[in-house]
Amino acid sequence: MSVPILKYGIDDTSRVFGRTQLGNSEYISAVNEIIENVKNRKDEALFEYALKFDRQKIDKDNVLVSDSEIEEAYSKVDKALVESIRKAKAGILDYHSRQKVKFSNEFFKSGASGESTLGWIYRPLARVGLYVPGGKASYPSTVLMTALPAIAAGVDEVIVATPNINNPAILVACKECGIKKIYKIGGAQAVAAMAYGTQSVPRVDLIAGPGNVFVTLAKKQVFGHVAIDMIAGPSEILIIADESADAKLLASDLLSQAEHDEQAASILVTISEDLAKKVQKELDRQTALLERKDIISKSLETNGAIIVAKDIEEAIMIADEVAPEHLEVCTENAGEVAMKLSNAGAIFVGNFSPEPLGDYFAGPSHVLPTSGSARYSSVLSVDTFMKKISYIEYAKQDLLSCADDIIAIAESEGFGAHANTIKLRKAEYGDKEKI
Protein backbone atom coordinates (compact mmCIF):
# COMPACT_ATOMS: atom_id res chain seq x y z
CA MET A 1 0.00 0.00 0.00
CA SER A 2 1.44 3.38 -1.02
CA VAL A 3 1.90 6.12 1.55
CA PRO A 4 -0.94 8.61 1.02
CA ILE A 5 -0.30 12.06 -0.41
CA LEU A 6 -2.40 14.57 1.51
CA LYS A 7 -2.98 18.28 1.02
CA TYR A 8 -2.79 20.24 4.24
CA GLY A 9 -6.06 21.99 5.08
CA ILE A 10 -7.99 19.90 2.54
CA ASP A 11 -7.43 16.20 3.28
CA ASP A 12 -7.60 14.43 6.64
CA THR A 13 -4.12 14.62 8.18
CA SER A 14 -5.13 13.23 11.59
CA ARG A 15 -2.64 10.36 11.31
CA VAL A 16 0.13 12.94 11.59
CA PHE A 17 -1.06 14.76 14.72
CA GLY A 18 -1.92 13.73 18.25
CA ARG A 19 0.42 10.76 18.63
CA THR A 20 0.65 9.60 22.24
CA GLN A 21 3.38 7.89 24.21
CA LEU A 22 1.10 6.40 26.83
CA GLY A 23 -1.87 4.98 24.97
CA ASN A 24 -1.45 1.47 26.36
CA SER A 25 -3.44 1.66 29.58
CA GLU A 26 -4.18 -2.08 29.41
CA TYR A 27 -0.60 -2.76 30.50
CA ILE A 28 -0.58 -0.48 33.54
CA SER A 29 -1.94 -3.00 36.04
CA ALA A 30 0.62 -5.61 34.96
CA VAL A 31 3.44 -3.07 35.24
CA ASN A 32 2.26 -1.97 38.69
CA GLU A 33 2.21 -5.57 39.87
CA ILE A 34 5.77 -6.12 38.68
CA ILE A 35 6.96 -2.93 40.37
CA GLU A 36 5.32 -3.79 43.69
CA ASN A 37 6.70 -7.31 43.60
CA VAL A 38 10.27 -6.14 43.00
CA LYS A 39 9.90 -3.34 45.54
CA ASN A 40 8.74 -5.74 48.26
CA ARG A 41 10.47 -9.02 47.40
CA LYS A 42 13.55 -7.52 45.76
CA ASP A 43 16.02 -10.05 44.28
CA GLU A 44 13.61 -12.95 44.64
CA ALA A 45 11.02 -11.29 42.39
CA LEU A 46 13.64 -9.87 40.05
CA PHE A 47 15.12 -13.29 39.33
CA GLU A 48 11.68 -14.87 38.90
CA TYR A 49 10.76 -12.28 36.26
CA ALA A 50 14.09 -12.77 34.48
CA LEU A 51 13.26 -16.45 34.06
CA LYS A 52 9.62 -15.80 33.13
CA PHE A 53 10.06 -12.96 30.62
CA ASP A 54 13.67 -13.18 29.40
CA ARG A 55 14.22 -16.93 29.85
CA GLN A 56 17.38 -16.20 31.79
CA LYS A 57 18.27 -18.11 34.92
CA ILE A 58 20.09 -15.58 37.04
CA ASP A 59 20.87 -15.24 40.73
CA LYS A 60 22.96 -13.04 43.01
CA ASP A 61 26.13 -14.74 41.78
CA ASN A 62 25.65 -14.22 38.05
CA VAL A 63 23.33 -11.21 37.73
CA LEU A 64 26.35 -9.08 36.83
CA VAL A 65 28.19 -9.57 33.54
CA SER A 66 31.59 -11.01 34.42
CA ASP A 67 35.03 -10.04 33.14
CA SER A 68 35.25 -13.33 31.27
CA GLU A 69 31.94 -12.60 29.53
CA ILE A 70 33.30 -9.19 28.49
CA GLU A 71 36.44 -10.84 27.10
CA GLU A 72 34.32 -13.34 25.20
CA ALA A 73 32.25 -10.48 23.77
CA TYR A 74 35.38 -8.84 22.36
CA SER A 75 36.35 -12.10 20.69
CA LYS A 76 33.00 -12.18 18.90
CA VAL A 77 32.90 -8.57 17.67
CA ASP A 78 34.63 -7.65 14.45
CA LYS A 79 37.69 -5.49 15.14
CA ALA A 80 36.49 -2.94 12.59
CA LEU A 81 33.25 -2.52 14.56
CA VAL A 82 35.22 -2.04 17.78
CA GLU A 83 37.20 0.74 16.08
CA SER A 84 33.98 2.33 14.81
CA ILE A 85 32.58 2.26 18.35
CA ARG A 86 35.74 3.93 19.62
CA LYS A 87 35.55 6.66 16.97
CA ALA A 88 31.90 7.28 17.75
CA LYS A 89 32.72 7.42 21.46
CA ALA A 90 35.38 10.06 20.91
CA GLY A 91 33.03 12.35 19.00
CA ILE A 92 30.10 11.90 21.38
CA LEU A 93 32.24 12.47 24.46
CA ASP A 94 33.83 15.56 22.92
CA TYR A 95 30.42 17.03 22.08
CA HIS A 96 29.05 16.55 25.59
CA SER A 97 32.25 17.59 27.34
CA ARG A 98 31.86 20.97 25.64
CA GLN A 99 28.42 21.28 27.27
CA LYS A 100 29.92 20.78 30.72
CA VAL A 101 31.67 24.16 30.46
CA LYS A 102 28.40 26.05 31.01
CA PHE A 103 27.79 24.28 34.33
CA SER A 104 29.97 26.58 36.42
CA ASN A 105 29.12 27.71 39.92
CA GLU A 106 28.27 31.40 39.95
CA PHE A 107 27.80 33.95 42.74
CA PHE A 108 26.90 37.61 42.75
CA LYS A 109 26.50 40.31 45.37
CA SER A 110 22.97 41.31 46.30
CA GLY A 111 20.95 43.25 48.86
CA ALA A 112 20.93 46.93 49.77
CA SER A 113 24.34 46.68 51.44
CA GLY A 114 25.91 44.84 48.56
CA GLU A 115 27.32 42.37 51.08
CA SER A 116 24.84 39.52 50.60
CA THR A 117 25.60 36.72 48.17
CA LEU A 118 23.29 34.79 45.88
CA GLY A 119 24.15 32.21 43.30
CA TRP A 120 23.91 28.63 42.19
CA ILE A 121 25.98 25.48 42.52
CA TYR A 122 25.96 22.63 39.99
CA ARG A 123 26.48 19.04 41.05
CA PRO A 124 26.34 15.84 38.97
CA LEU A 125 24.08 13.05 40.13
CA ALA A 126 25.81 10.37 42.19
CA ARG A 127 24.51 7.23 40.48
CA VAL A 128 22.45 6.71 37.33
CA GLY A 129 20.98 3.61 35.74
CA LEU A 130 20.85 3.18 31.98
CA TYR A 131 18.40 0.88 30.27
CA VAL A 132 19.55 -0.70 27.00
CA PRO A 133 16.67 -2.54 25.30
CA GLY A 134 16.55 -5.90 23.63
CA GLY A 135 13.59 -6.55 21.37
CA LYS A 136 13.67 -6.53 17.58
CA ALA A 137 17.09 -4.92 17.30
CA SER A 138 20.21 -4.53 19.37
CA TYR A 139 21.46 -1.12 20.35
CA PRO A 140 25.13 -0.71 21.28
CA SER A 141 24.65 2.89 20.11
CA THR A 142 22.21 3.43 22.99
CA VAL A 143 25.04 2.63 25.41
CA LEU A 144 27.18 5.35 23.85
CA MET A 145 24.36 7.88 23.61
CA THR A 146 23.29 7.53 27.25
CA ALA A 147 26.51 6.69 29.08
CA LEU A 148 28.79 9.31 27.57
CA PRO A 149 26.65 12.35 28.49
CA ALA A 150 26.49 11.00 32.05
CA ILE A 151 30.25 10.49 32.13
CA ALA A 152 30.84 13.97 30.72
CA ALA A 153 28.60 15.36 33.47
CA GLY A 154 30.82 13.74 36.10
CA VAL A 155 28.38 11.13 37.43
CA ASP A 156 30.23 9.00 39.99
CA GLU A 157 28.70 5.65 39.03
CA VAL A 158 26.92 4.56 35.85
CA ILE A 159 25.25 1.15 35.78
CA VAL A 160 23.52 -0.58 32.87
CA ALA A 161 20.55 -2.94 32.82
CA THR A 162 19.93 -4.95 29.67
CA PRO A 163 18.21 -8.22 28.84
CA ASN A 164 20.24 -8.40 25.64
CA ILE A 165 23.48 -9.86 27.02
CA ASN A 166 23.73 -12.24 24.08
CA ASN A 167 24.64 -9.30 21.87
CA PRO A 168 28.39 -8.89 22.31
CA ALA A 169 28.47 -5.40 20.75
CA ILE A 170 26.43 -4.05 23.68
CA LEU A 171 28.93 -5.46 26.17
CA VAL A 172 31.84 -4.08 24.16
CA ALA A 173 30.23 -0.64 24.07
CA CYS A 174 29.75 -0.74 27.84
CA LYS A 175 33.39 -1.67 28.38
CA GLU A 176 34.59 1.05 26.01
CA CYS A 177 32.58 3.59 28.03
CA GLY A 178 34.14 2.40 31.27
CA ILE A 179 30.96 0.92 32.73
CA LYS A 180 31.86 -1.57 35.44
CA LYS A 181 28.43 -2.93 36.35
CA ILE A 182 26.17 -4.45 33.68
CA TYR A 183 23.10 -6.22 35.02
CA LYS A 184 21.43 -9.04 33.10
CA ILE A 185 17.93 -7.74 33.71
CA GLY A 186 15.26 -6.14 31.55
CA GLY A 187 11.69 -4.94 31.38
CA ALA A 188 9.64 -3.23 34.06
CA GLN A 189 11.42 -5.36 36.68
CA ALA A 190 14.77 -3.78 35.78
CA VAL A 191 13.28 -0.29 36.12
CA ALA A 192 11.81 -1.20 39.52
CA ALA A 193 15.11 -2.68 40.70
CA MET A 194 17.03 0.47 39.81
CA ALA A 195 14.34 2.74 41.27
CA TYR A 196 13.99 1.02 44.65
CA GLY A 197 17.11 -1.11 44.94
CA THR A 198 17.42 -4.83 45.67
CA GLN A 199 20.06 -6.92 47.40
CA SER A 200 21.98 -7.11 44.10
CA VAL A 201 21.01 -3.90 42.28
CA PRO A 202 21.73 -0.50 43.85
CA ARG A 203 19.15 2.27 43.92
CA VAL A 204 19.95 5.02 41.41
CA ASP A 205 19.13 8.73 41.25
CA LEU A 206 17.96 8.72 37.62
CA ILE A 207 16.96 6.13 35.04
CA ALA A 208 17.64 6.91 31.38
CA GLY A 209 17.29 5.08 28.11
CA PRO A 210 14.52 3.83 25.82
CA GLY A 211 12.51 0.63 26.05
CA ASN A 212 9.28 -1.10 25.14
CA VAL A 213 5.84 -0.18 26.48
CA PHE A 214 6.47 -2.01 29.78
CA VAL A 215 9.72 -0.14 30.36
CA THR A 216 8.14 3.18 29.41
CA LEU A 217 5.15 2.72 31.71
CA ALA A 218 7.41 1.53 34.53
CA LYS A 219 9.54 4.66 34.21
CA LYS A 220 6.40 6.75 34.43
CA GLN A 221 5.21 4.88 37.51
CA VAL A 222 8.48 5.22 39.47
CA PHE A 223 8.99 8.88 38.53
CA GLY A 224 9.02 10.96 41.69
CA HIS A 225 10.75 8.26 43.67
CA VAL A 226 13.57 8.48 41.14
CA ALA A 227 14.22 10.88 38.27
CA ILE A 228 13.84 9.77 34.65
CA ASP A 229 15.12 11.21 31.40
CA MET A 230 11.82 11.22 29.50
CA ILE A 231 8.83 9.11 28.48
CA ALA A 232 9.91 7.82 25.08
CA GLY A 233 7.45 6.66 22.45
CA PRO A 234 7.87 5.09 18.99
CA SER A 235 10.52 6.59 16.74
CA GLU A 236 9.54 9.27 14.23
CA ILE A 237 10.91 11.48 11.48
CA LEU A 238 9.52 14.50 9.65
CA ILE A 239 11.27 15.91 6.59
CA ILE A 240 10.69 19.35 5.11
CA ALA A 241 11.65 19.35 1.42
CA ASP A 242 11.32 21.50 -1.66
CA GLU A 243 11.99 20.94 -5.39
CA SER A 244 15.75 20.91 -4.83
CA ALA A 245 15.64 17.67 -2.82
CA ASP A 246 16.41 14.18 -4.17
CA ALA A 247 13.37 11.86 -4.00
CA LYS A 248 15.55 8.76 -3.68
CA LEU A 249 17.37 10.15 -0.65
CA LEU A 250 14.20 11.44 0.96
CA ALA A 251 12.59 8.01 0.68
CA SER A 252 15.64 6.30 2.15
CA ASP A 253 15.62 8.68 5.11
CA LEU A 254 11.92 8.04 5.77
CA LEU A 255 12.52 4.29 5.62
CA SER A 256 15.39 4.54 8.11
CA GLN A 257 12.78 5.33 10.76
CA ALA A 258 10.01 3.06 9.49
CA GLU A 259 12.22 0.01 10.01
CA HIS A 260 12.39 0.59 13.80
CA ASP A 261 8.95 -0.89 14.47
CA GLU A 262 5.37 -0.93 13.26
CA GLN A 263 4.47 2.13 15.35
CA ALA A 264 7.23 4.36 13.95
CA ALA A 265 6.09 7.44 12.03
CA SER A 266 7.64 8.70 8.78
CA ILE A 267 6.31 12.00 7.44
CA LEU A 268 7.33 14.12 4.47
CA VAL A 269 6.13 17.73 4.21
CA THR A 270 6.86 19.22 0.81
CA ILE A 271 5.80 22.19 -1.27
CA SER A 272 6.14 20.18 -4.50
CA GLU A 273 3.40 17.80 -5.66
CA ASP A 274 5.78 16.41 -8.27
CA LEU A 275 8.35 15.57 -5.58
CA ALA A 276 5.61 14.03 -3.43
CA LYS A 277 4.70 11.59 -6.21
CA LYS A 278 8.33 10.68 -6.84
CA VAL A 279 8.95 9.97 -3.15
CA GLN A 280 5.77 7.88 -2.98
CA LYS A 281 7.07 5.66 -5.80
CA GLU A 282 10.54 5.47 -4.26
CA LEU A 283 9.11 4.32 -0.94
CA ASP A 284 7.38 1.39 -2.64
CA ARG A 285 10.44 0.52 -4.70
CA GLN A 286 12.97 0.67 -1.86
CA THR A 287 10.76 -1.06 0.71
CA ALA A 288 10.62 -4.19 -1.46
CA LEU A 289 14.42 -4.40 -1.36
CA LEU A 290 14.87 -4.12 2.41
CA GLU A 291 15.27 -6.93 4.92
CA ARG A 292 12.76 -5.48 7.39
CA LYS A 293 10.14 -4.81 4.70
CA ASP A 294 7.26 -6.34 6.67
CA ILE A 295 7.83 -3.99 9.60
CA ILE A 296 8.38 -1.06 7.23
CA SER A 297 5.20 -1.73 5.27
CA LYS A 298 3.09 -1.85 8.42
CA SER A 299 4.71 1.30 9.77
CA LEU A 300 4.13 3.25 6.55
CA GLU A 301 0.59 1.96 6.17
CA THR A 302 -0.35 3.02 9.70
CA ASN A 303 1.76 6.09 10.39
CA GLY A 304 3.32 7.20 7.11
CA ALA A 305 2.22 10.33 5.26
CA ILE A 306 3.28 12.77 2.56
CA ILE A 307 1.77 16.22 3.08
CA VAL A 308 1.76 18.89 0.40
CA ALA A 309 1.99 22.38 1.90
CA LYS A 310 1.37 25.59 -0.01
CA ASP A 311 4.74 27.12 0.94
CA ILE A 312 7.72 26.79 3.27
CA GLU A 313 6.03 28.88 5.97
CA GLU A 314 3.13 26.42 6.10
CA ALA A 315 5.59 23.50 6.13
CA ILE A 316 7.34 25.05 9.14
CA MET A 317 3.99 25.49 10.88
CA ILE A 318 3.12 21.82 10.30
CA ALA A 319 6.52 20.68 11.59
CA ASP A 320 6.20 22.78 14.74
CA GLU A 321 2.74 21.38 15.38
CA VAL A 322 3.95 17.80 15.00
CA ALA A 323 7.11 18.53 17.08
CA PRO A 324 8.90 15.43 15.77
CA GLU A 325 11.72 13.49 17.32
CA HIS A 326 13.88 13.87 14.18
CA LEU A 327 13.39 16.75 11.77
CA GLU A 328 15.32 16.93 8.50
CA VAL A 329 15.43 20.10 6.40
CA CYS A 330 16.22 19.35 2.75
CA THR A 331 15.59 22.66 1.04
CA GLU A 332 17.46 25.51 -0.52
CA ASN A 333 18.79 27.73 2.27
CA ALA A 334 18.22 24.85 4.67
CA GLY A 335 20.07 26.59 7.49
CA GLU A 336 17.74 29.58 7.32
CA VAL A 337 14.68 27.32 7.38
CA ALA A 338 16.10 25.38 10.34
CA MET A 339 16.49 28.55 12.40
CA LYS A 340 12.76 29.27 12.01
CA LEU A 341 11.80 25.95 13.59
CA SER A 342 10.97 25.73 17.29
CA ASN A 343 9.80 22.19 18.08
CA ALA A 344 12.01 19.18 17.41
CA GLY A 345 14.21 16.74 19.28
CA ALA A 346 17.02 17.19 16.76
CA ILE A 347 17.24 19.11 13.49
CA PHE A 348 19.30 17.69 10.61
CA VAL A 349 20.21 20.44 8.17
CA GLY A 350 20.92 19.83 4.48
CA ASN A 351 21.23 16.83 2.21
CA PHE A 352 24.38 15.52 3.89
CA SER A 353 22.97 15.33 7.41
CA PRO A 354 20.71 12.25 7.29
CA GLU A 355 19.12 11.08 10.53
CA PRO A 356 21.33 7.95 10.94
CA LEU A 357 24.30 10.31 11.27
CA GLY A 358 22.74 11.45 14.53
CA ASP A 359 21.80 7.93 15.58
CA TYR A 360 25.36 6.71 15.57
CA PHE A 361 28.14 9.22 15.17
CA ALA A 362 27.69 13.00 15.02
CA GLY A 363 27.85 13.68 18.76
CA PRO A 364 24.46 14.70 20.20
CA SER A 365 22.58 11.91 21.96
CA HIS A 366 19.98 10.05 19.94
CA VAL A 367 17.70 9.77 22.99
CA LEU A 368 15.15 12.40 21.99
CA PRO A 369 11.64 13.56 22.94
CA THR A 370 8.89 11.87 20.92
CA SER A 371 5.14 12.05 20.33
CA GLY A 372 5.04 15.82 20.35
CA SER A 373 6.87 16.22 23.65
CA ALA A 374 9.57 18.23 21.85
CA ARG A 375 7.18 21.14 22.41
CA TYR A 376 8.39 21.25 26.02
CA SER A 377 11.29 18.85 26.53
CA SER A 378 14.83 18.38 25.28
CA VAL A 379 17.36 15.85 24.08
CA LEU A 380 19.20 13.76 26.66
CA SER A 381 22.44 15.58 27.42
CA VAL A 382 24.80 16.62 30.18
CA ASP A 383 21.91 18.71 31.54
CA THR A 384 19.98 15.48 32.22
CA PHE A 385 22.60 14.32 34.70
CA MET A 386 23.21 17.63 36.50
CA LYS A 387 21.29 19.37 39.26
CA LYS A 388 21.35 23.03 40.26
CA ILE A 389 21.42 24.04 43.92
CA SER A 390 20.50 27.56 44.97
CA TYR A 391 23.03 29.44 47.15
CA ILE A 392 21.77 32.09 49.58
CA GLU A 393 24.04 33.97 52.02
CA TYR A 394 22.46 37.17 53.38
CA ALA A 395 24.23 39.79 55.44
CA LYS A 396 22.55 40.75 58.73
CA GLN A 397 21.60 44.26 57.62
CA ASP A 398 20.03 42.98 54.40
CA LEU A 399 17.86 40.45 56.22
CA LEU A 400 16.73 43.14 58.67
CA SER A 401 15.92 45.51 55.81
CA CYS A 402 13.41 43.07 54.31
CA ALA A 403 12.20 41.49 57.56
CA ASP A 404 8.88 43.34 57.64
CA ASP A 405 8.11 42.32 54.07
CA ILE A 406 8.81 38.64 54.78
CA ILE A 407 6.69 38.77 57.94
CA ALA A 408 3.80 40.43 56.09
CA ILE A 409 3.76 37.83 53.30
CA ALA A 410 4.16 34.88 55.70
CA GLU A 411 1.33 36.08 57.94
CA SER A 412 -0.92 36.69 54.92
CA GLU A 413 -0.51 33.00 54.09
CA GLY A 414 -1.23 31.92 57.67
CA PHE A 415 2.29 30.69 58.41
CA GLY A 416 3.03 32.13 61.82
CA ALA A 417 6.15 30.04 62.37
CA HIS A 418 7.63 31.37 59.15
CA ALA A 419 6.99 34.92 60.38
CA ASN A 420 8.22 34.15 63.89
CA THR A 421 11.70 33.01 62.86
CA ILE A 422 12.17 36.38 61.14
CA LYS A 423 10.67 38.27 64.13
CA LEU A 424 13.13 36.58 66.50
CA ARG A 425 16.10 37.73 64.44
CA LYS A 426 14.64 41.21 64.17
CA ALA A 427 14.16 41.34 67.95
CA GLU A 428 17.68 40.04 68.64
CA TYR A 429 19.65 42.01 66.10
CA GLY A 430 17.42 44.85 64.92
CA ASP A 431 16.74 48.32 66.25
CA LYS A 432 15.14 47.60 69.63
CA GLU A 433 13.34 50.96 69.72
CA LYS A 434 11.41 50.16 66.55
CA ILE A 435 10.17 46.75 67.69
Catalytic site includes residue 96 = no
Catalytic site includes residue 225 = no
> What count of other Cβ atoms lies within 10 Å of the Cβ of residue 194?
31
- Cα separation, 280 vs 292, in Å, equals 18
Q: Are 352 and 246 spatial neighbours (Cβ–Cβ below 8 Å)? A: no
- Cα separation, 187 vs 168, in Å, equals 19
- Cα separation, 218 vs 191, in Å, equals 6
Query: What is the three-class DSSP state of 307?
Result: strand
- Cα separation, 267 vs 237, in Å, equals 6
Residues 326, 328, 355, 366: which is the catalytic one? 326
Q: Are 341 and 347 spatial neighbours (Cβ–Cβ below 8 Å)? A: yes
Strand blocks (E) in 162-258: 181-183, 206-208, 227-228, 236-241
- Cα separation, 282 vs 43, in Å, equals 51
Query: Taking the chain, what is the end-to-end CA distance rounded to the nearest angstrom?
Result: 83
- Cα separation, 137 vs 187, in Å, equals 15
- Cα separation, 154 vs 125, in Å, equals 8
SS3 track for 43-111: HHHHHHHHHHHHCCCCCCCCCECCHHHHHHHHHHCCHHHHHHHHHHHHHHHHHHHHHHCCCCCEEEEEC
Q: Are 308 and 315 spatial neighbours (Cβ–Cβ below 8 Å)? A: no
Residues 236, 259, 325, 328: which is the catalytic one? 325
Query: What is the three-class DSSP state of 227?
Result: strand
Partners of residue 395 on adjacent β-strands = none
Distances (CA, A) of 96 to 147, 159, 339, 369: 11, 19, 22, 18
- Cα separation, 382 vs 421, in Å, equals 39
- Cα separation, 7 vs 306, in Å, equals 8
User: Which residues are tagged catalytic?
Assistant: 325-326
